[in-house]
Structure 1
């Protein structure tokens, strides 16, 4: 199994700007940026979280 296509990304809240989640995705098959509705602990509600690059 080749793991060369997997990249670690962060999910940043579009309202408060915090990076609350990190996940991995296959960069070859999923070329567009992820946009998920996740829980933001700072705002205490579900908000849109967008993909950002994590510093390595």
Structure 2
């Protein structure tokens, strides 16, 4: 997982807590979760575009 372990995640969480404050953390989590869901949905969708030559 990109070489990120539990100690690194704890440091990042502590920095977010100090910078944003405890009231903004749920909003960050919700935004992160929705962006991950959207990314997975885009990967799994079959929206192929067909390109045709103009004659």
Q: Which has the higher contact order (CA 8 A, sep 6+)?
A: 1
Query: Please, what TM-score do these two structures have when normalized by structure 1?
Result: 0.22
Q: Which structure's residues are more often strand, by fraction? A: 1
Query: Please, what TM-score do these two structures have when normalized by structure 2?
Result: 0.22
| Bigger CA radius of gyration | 2
